[in-house]
Chains A and B, each alone.
Chain A
Amino acid sequence: MAYRITDACNGCGACQKICPVDAIDGEKKELHVIDEARCIECGSCGRICPQQAVQDGFGIACETIKHSKWEKPVFDRKKCMSCTICIDACPVKCLALSEAEAKDPHGYPYLEKEKICLGCGFCAYECPVNAVTMAVPQSVS
C-alpha cells in the first residue's frame, strides 16, 4: 500500500528530492502527490517532511525525524552468508561488499555511502538470516 500526502503539504519539495524512485510530483509551494504505482514504501518522504503531511499505507501520519537520527543498518558477520541479498534490496545502492581478509575469503556487506542511506530497512527486512538490524547511529560524545 502506497504512501499519500495530505493537505498539510506546503510544497517544500523535500520529499520529491529524496524519493529514490521519482514517485512524487508537484510544483513548488503546491500540494505534492505520490504515484501509487511507483511508490516502494521506503518511508523517506514521511521522515523528511517538516509538515508531517505524509501518511503511510495504513493512513498513519509519519513522524518527522532529524536526518542524523535515521536508523542505519548494522551487520552481524557471524550470521551473514555473503549472499548479497541486502545489497540488492537497497533502493539507493548504499551498501557494498568488503574485500576478503587473510583468514576469510568471503566479502561481507557494509554501509559504504552512509549519507544517502534512507533508513528504509529493506536490507534488514529482506535478509533471510536476520544478519542485518536497524539502529540509530550513536553519536561520538
Chain B
Amino acid sequence: MGKGYMGKILMVNLSGGNIQEEIIPDEVYEKYLSGMGLAAYILYNRIPAGADPLGPDNILGFVSGLLTGTGSLFAGRWMVVGKSPLTGGWGDANCGGNLSPAIKRCGYDGIFFKGISSKPVYLYIEKGKAELRDASHLWGQDTVEAEKMLLEEAAAGARVALIGPSGEKLSLISGISNDRGRMAARSGLGAVMGSKRLKALVLAGAKRIPVHNREGIKRLSQKCNRWVQFQPPFVSGSMMPYVGAFMRIMPTVLAQDGMLYKTLLRKWGTGSMNQASIEMGDSPIKNWKGTNEDFGPKRSLTTNPDVFTDREIIKYHCHSCPLGCGGICSMTGKYSETHKPEYETVLALGGLCMNEDVNSIFHLNESLNRAGMDTISAGATAAFAIECYEEGLLTKEDTDGLELTWGNSEAITALIEKMIDREGIGDILADGSKVAARKLGRGSERYAVHAGGQEPAMHDSRNDPGFALHYSVEPAPGRHTIGSGLYYEMFQLWKRVKGLPKVGPLYFKGSKYVVDEEKAVRGAACSKFTNLLNGSGLCMFGAFLGVKKIPTFDWLNAATGWNKTPEEYMKIGERLQTLKQAFNVKHGIEPKNFKISSRAIGAPPQTRGANKGRSVGLDEMMGDYWKQFGWDTLTGKPSEECLARLDIEVQ
C-alpha cells in the first residue's frame, strides 16, 4: 500500500548529462514530508557553502507535494527551489497550474538539476525514460510560444515548465512558467534555470500515485467541497471599495473567516480586492510613499473586479482545485488572451506606480508572463525608478527619453519592456530594486523597498504588522504567502492544534501594533503550518477555509497511514523552518539583514491616509519570533542544540 509519495527523485547533472534516479528512505518523508520539505533536505545537504547561485554547484529542484494526486483538493501546487541569486539564501517559488501531478506521474517527488549544460537543453520524460534534448531552437522564444512548440514535440497531455527570455538573460527577478504563463515567479529562480542553460522540463508520465486510504481521502474531500461550492450571491464589484472604506473607518476589526474570501475568490479571483485593499490601507501606493488618498476609488475604478470578469472567457482551475479563482481573459492589442491578472500584478503595475490604465496592466501582465519575469518585482522596481526620476536621481537622458512620472502608463510600459529586453536603463532595473539602487548610487537606496533583496508583495505591513514580520523573518524574505495577522485568523489553527491562541470575533485595531509574545506565537504557527502546506502541495487559498473545513492533517494521515497528531505535524513544520534558516546561515546570510526597508514599517509613520501614525516594532517582533523556534534572539541563527532537538543532521 502506498503513502502518497513516490519515494524517488531524479537527479540530472547538466554538466555531463548524467541522469540518475535516487530512492529516498521513508524516514526522510516522515521527518520533512515531500515537496518543499524534501527539497530543503536535499539542498541543505548538497549545495556547498558559498556556492554561486548562478554557478554549477547550485541545485535547482522542481518538487510536487505529498498530497498531490491523492484525491485531496487544492493539492496542485508545485514548487521550484534553489539558492536564490536575488537574496543569496534559500529560494523557493510556488505555482499552481498542471505541473505538480505530472512530476509524480513520471515516478518522482522531485526533479533536481545541478551543473551547467554547454548548450541549451530541455528534459523530456515519457514512459519511464528521461533524456536531455536540444533546445537551441527554443532559446529566445517566449514562454507561451516555446511551450506550444514543446507540446508539439511531446506525447499527448505533456506538461511543461519553462523559462522565457528573462531567465535566459539571467534577470534576478525572473521566474518559471507553466501552462501558458502561470508563474513560479519569486526568488529569481528563472535566472538559475537560465544559468544552467535549461530551457524546460516536459513531463509525460502515466504512473499511478499510491495512496494508503484513497476512499478515506475522498470522504474528506467531499466534505471540504461542500464548503467550497456554497456560494451565496454577493455584492457587485462596484461595492468593493466601499467595503474597504468601511473597514478603514471602523475602529475595530471583525476577525475574518476564510469563507468570506472564498466567496470573493470564486466570483472574481484575487482581483476581488483590487479596490477594497487600497481603501482599507492594505495596498501600498506610490512606491509605499503614498496612501489611499492618492489613489482613491475614482482613480482605481478602472481596476474594479468586474472589469476582469467581464473579459473572462473561462474560469481556470489548477489541478485538483474545486474553487477556480483563475481565469483566461480576452484582451486587445498585441496579444489576444492572457491569464486573468492577479491582485498582486494589478496593484504592482497599478497603484504602486499610480497607473490607472487597465489596458497597460493587461498588456504588461501578458508581456511579463511571456518574458518569464515576476510581476511583483517588475512593478515594484518600476515604481522605484519613477520615484528616482521624480526626485531627480534619474534624468531623461538616463531613461532614454522616457518621461518617467507617476502614472505615465506609456512610459511605465516602455520601461518594463526595456527591463524585459535588458536594454538601456532596463538592464540596470532587470535585477530588482536593490541591485538597481547599488548600481545607480546617488542615494537611491532609500527608495528601494525590499527585504533581503526581494521586493515585498502588495500587502502593506503598516496595515497588518504580521506581514512586516514574515517579510523579514522568512528564509525566503519579502513573501506574502506565509503568514500575517489576517492569515492566522483565517487558518484557524487553534481549532485543531492544542495550545495556540484563539482570535476573538472582534478586536481593536490598536491591538495589532502592540508587540507581545502572543504575536510571535501566531507568526511562528503560520510559518510552521505553511511549511506543511508546501510539503503537501496544498494551496494557501484552500487553507484560508480554516483547518476545520480543509482537513489538512486528516488528508496527510489518510494518504500516508501515519496517524500523526496536528501537533506532531506542526513539529515537522518547525523542523522545515529551522532547516531553511540553517541553509541561510550555512551560506553566510545574517538573518537580521533581511529586515524590510523602514518605509514599509512606518519609520517614520505616514502623516495621512489609512495607515496614518502607524509604525511597527519590528526589531522586537523579530527577536520574539526567533525565540519561538529556539534560535538566537539577537542573530536569528539556530544553535546546534536546536538542530539536535529537531533531529536535523548537520553535515
Contacts and interface: CB of A to CB of B under 8 A. Distances in A.
Interface of A: 20-22, 37-38, 40-41, 81-85, 87-88, 90-93, 99-100, 105-107, 122, 125-126, 128-130
18 contacts: A21-B127, A22-B128, A38-B127, A41-B208, A82-B324, A83-B321, A84-B98, A85-B71, A88-B69, A88-B98, A88-B319, A93-B156, A100-B315, A106-B317, A122-B208, A128-B221, A128-B222, A129-B222
A116 B229 CA distance: 33
Given A21-B127, A21-B206, A106-B324, A84 B317 contact: yes
A87 B105 CA distance: 13
Contact of A100 (B73, B101, B228, B313): B313
A98 B229 CA distance: 20
Interface in B190-227: 206-208, 214, 217-218, 221-222, 225
A106 B73 CA distance: 17
Contact of B207 (A40, A85, A105): A40
A14 B528 CA distance: 52
Nearest to B229: A81
Contacts of A106: 314-315, 317, 324
B208 A128 contact: no
A135 B229 CA distance: 27
Contacts of A91: 206
Give the secondary structure class of A's interface: loop
B429 to A, nearest CB: 37
Given A83-B319, A88-B69, 14 more contacts: A21-B207, A22-B128, A38-B127, A38-B128, A40-B206, A81-B229, A82-B317, A83-B320, A85-B69, A105-B312, A122-B208, A126-B71, A128-B71, A129-B222
A92 B315 contact: no
A85 to B, nearest CB: 5
B208 A40 contact: yes
A84 B319 contact: yes
Q: Categorize the interface residue count of chain B.
A: 35 or more
Contacts, number: 86
Contacts of A87: 157
Q: Which 10 A-B pairs have the closest CB atoms?
A: A93-B157, A81-B322, A128-B221, A91-B206, A100-B314, A93-B156, A22-B127, A128-B71, A105-B315, A88-B101
A85 B320 contact: yes
Contact of B319 (A85, A99, A122): A85
Interface in B53-88: 69, 71-73
- In the complex, which of the residues B155, B317, B321 has the most CB atoms of chain A within 10 Å of its own CB atom? B317
Contacts of B319: 83-85, 88
A99 B328 CA distance: 11
- In the complex, which of the residues A38, A84, A85 has the most CB atoms of chain B within 10 Å of its own CB atom? A85
A131 B42 CA distance: 39
Contacts of A129: 218, 221-222, 225
B127 A83 contact: no
Contact of B105 (A82, A88, A107): A88
